[in-house]
């Protein structure tokens, strides 16, 4: 005799399918293409116990490096094979206040000698054994978008219908300064591009490219290779 499904059993089944569908949606990702380039001026590398500081270049206009990007770099460099000892950006700025504020920070490696002549700066950097500064500049911008997606809710129900897309370009550059030799060590640039989609099939289904994340991973790996030589 066939088993008759009860209302409770039908509801549990529907919830299970909804969960499976949402999980599959979360796994969908669009692609991002990344290009990383490096220019090296010195061959020195991090020695045992030496540290790296990642600083986002702050400006007073509307374009500046996102804190989330420098945090992503710090997370990537502090993990994985060959983790690097990092001094947090906030701690570094507090320890060397007021010399690395947006208004006062050196803009060129040639300014390091003058900075180190200021009272207490050299001693503080030696105390924390910081070897390299990595200035990160750049941002992620939306360069194209289109399509149409509309969502509506009514007494009879609701949902989203349509398709929209947006293309983002993430372009970042790291300038590495050697604080032991008071000179520029090199530059690394990372460019990533990707198109994200949002499809409306009753529920909005995002298919995200995340070029910022791709640029972060590419830049972090190249930076790790740059400062450790491996």
- The least CB distance from residue 47 to other proteins, in Å, is 25
Q: What span, in angstroms and rounded, lies between the C-alpha atoms of 111 and 105? A: 9
Nearer to other proteins, 100 or 177 (CB): 100
Q: For tokens 């001094």, what's the residue?
A: 87
- The least CB distance from residue 79 to other proteins, in Å, is 24
Nearer to other proteins, 43 or 153 (CB): 153
Tell me what percent of the chain is helix, strand and coil, each rounded to the nearest 5: 30, 40, 30
**What is the largest distance, in Å, between two alpha-carbon atoms of the chain?**
91
Q: Name the token pair of 53.
A: 């500081």
Question: How many C-beta atoms surround the C-beta of residue 87 within 10 A?
Answer: 18
How many residues of this chain interact with other proteins, rule: CB under 8 A?
A: 36
Residues 78 to 107 in contact with other proteins, rule: CB under 8 A:
90, 93-99, 101-104
Q: Is 24 in the site for other proteins (CB under 8 A)?
A: no
Interface with other proteins by CB under 8 A: which range of 43-51, 56-64, 74-82, 106-114?
56-64
Strands 130-154 and 86-87, sheet pairing: unpaired
| Whole-Å CA distances, 46 to 85, 162, 169, 223, 226 | 10, 52, 32, 12, 9
Q: What span, in angstroms and rounded, lies between the C-alpha atoms of 15 and 21? A: 10
Q: Is 2 in the site for other proteins (CB under 8 A)?
A: no
Nearer to other proteins, 10 or 40 (CB): 10
Q: Which of 51, 121, 149, 198 binds other proteins (CB under 8 A)?
A: 121
Q: Is 203 in the site for other proteins (CB under 8 A)?
A: yes
Q: What span, in angstroms and rounded, lies between the C-alpha atoms of 110 and 106? A: 9
Nearer to other proteins, 16 or 39 (CB): 16
Q: Which of 1, 2, 27, 153 binds other proteins (CB under 8 A)?
A: 153
| Secondary structure element (H or E) that encloses residue 200, with its range | strand 183-207
Interface with other proteins by CB under 8 A: which range of 39-47, 130-138, 141-149, 154-162?
154-162
Interface with other proteins by CB under 8 A: which residues? 10-11, 13-15, 17-18, 21, 60, 62, 64, 66-67, 90, 93-99, 101-104, 118-121, 124, 153, 157-159, 202-203
């Amino acid at each position: 005799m066939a088993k008759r499904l009860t209302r409770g059993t039908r509801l549990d089944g529907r919830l299970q399918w909804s969960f499976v569908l949402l999980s599959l949606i979360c796994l969908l990702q669009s692609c991002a293409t990344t290009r990383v380039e490096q220019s090296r001026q010195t061959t020195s590398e991090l020695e045992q116990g030496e540290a790296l500081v990642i600083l986002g270049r702050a400006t007073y206009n509307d374009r500046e490096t996102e804190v989330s990007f420098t945090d992503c770099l710090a997370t990537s460099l502090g993990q994985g094979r060959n983790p690097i000892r990092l001094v947090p950006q906030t701690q570094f700025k507090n320890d060397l206040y007021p010399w690395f504020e947006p208004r006062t920070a050196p803009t060129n490696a040639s300014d390091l000698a003058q900075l180190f002549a200021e009272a207490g700066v050299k001693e503080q950097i030696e105390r924390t054994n910081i070897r390299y500064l990595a200035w990160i500049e750049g941002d992620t911008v939306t360069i194209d978008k289109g399509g149409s997606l509309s969502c509506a809710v009514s007494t009879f129900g609701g949902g989203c219908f349509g398709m929209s897309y947006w293309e983002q370009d993430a372009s970042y550059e790291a300038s590495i300064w050697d604080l032991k030799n008071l000179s520029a060590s090199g530059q690394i640039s990372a460019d990533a591009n990707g198109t994200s989609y949002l499809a409306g099939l009753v529920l909005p289904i995002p298919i995200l490219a995340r070029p910022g994340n791709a640029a972060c991973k590419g830049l972090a790996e190249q930076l790790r290779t740059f400062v450790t030589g491996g």
